[in-house]
Chains A and B, each alone.
Chain A
Amino acid sequence: MSEIPQQLRYAESHEWVLDNGDGTVTIGITDHAQEALGDVVFVELPEIGRSLAAGDEFGVIESVKAASDLYAPVAGEVIEVNAELEDAPESVNEHPYTDAWLLKLRLTDADALEQLLDAEGYARLLDAQ
Chain B
Amino acid sequence: MCSLKRTPLYSLHAEYGAKFVPFAGYEMPVQYALGVKREHEHTRAACGLFDVSHMGQVLLRGRDVARALEALAPGDFIDLEQGAQRYSFFTNPEGGLYDDFMTVNAGDHLYLVVNAACKDQDIALLRIGLDPSIDIVALDDRALLALQGPQAQAVMARICPEANRLLFMQHARFEVEGETLWISRSGYTGEDGFEISLPAAYAEAFARRLLGEPEVELIGLGARDSLRLEAGLCLYGHDIDEHTDPVSASLVWALAKCRRQGGEREGGFPGANVILPRLAERDELERRVGLLGEGRAPIREGTTLFDGEGREVGRVTSGTFGPTVGQPVAMGYVRAQATSLGTKLYAEVRGKRLPMEVVKLPFVPARYHRG
Contact = CB atoms under 8 A, between A and B. Distances in A.
Given A38-B222, A42-B321, A62 B297 contact: yes
B151 interface: no
Contacts of B62: none
A64 interface: yes
A64 B219 CA distance: 14
B300 interface: yes
A60 B31 contact: no
A77 interface: no
A92 interface: no
A124 B38 CA distance: 31
Interface residues of B, number: 16
Contacts of A64: 36-37, 222, 226, 298, 320-321, 323
B298 A39 contact: no
A47 interface: no
Interface in A34-64: 38-39, 41-42, 44, 60, 62, 64
A62 B321 contact: yes
B296 interface: yes
A44 B297 contact: yes
A89 B296 contact: yes
A38 B297 contact: no
A42 B37 CA distance: 13
A55 B37 CA distance: 31
B355 interface: no
B325 to A, nearest CB: 12
Contact of A42 (B30, B222, B297): B297
Contacts of A99: none
A41 B321 contact: yes
A44 B350 contact: yes
A62 B298 CA distance: 7
Contacts of A89: 296
B239 to A, nearest CB: 18
B35 interface: yes
Contacts of A41: 37, 296, 298, 321
22 contacts: A38-B31, A39-B35, A39-B36, A39-B38, A41-B37, A41-B321, A42-B297, A42-B298, A60-B350, A62-B297, A62-B321, A64-B36, A64-B37, A64-B222, A64-B226, A64-B298, A64-B323, A65-B30, A65-B36, A67-B298, A89-B296, A90-B37
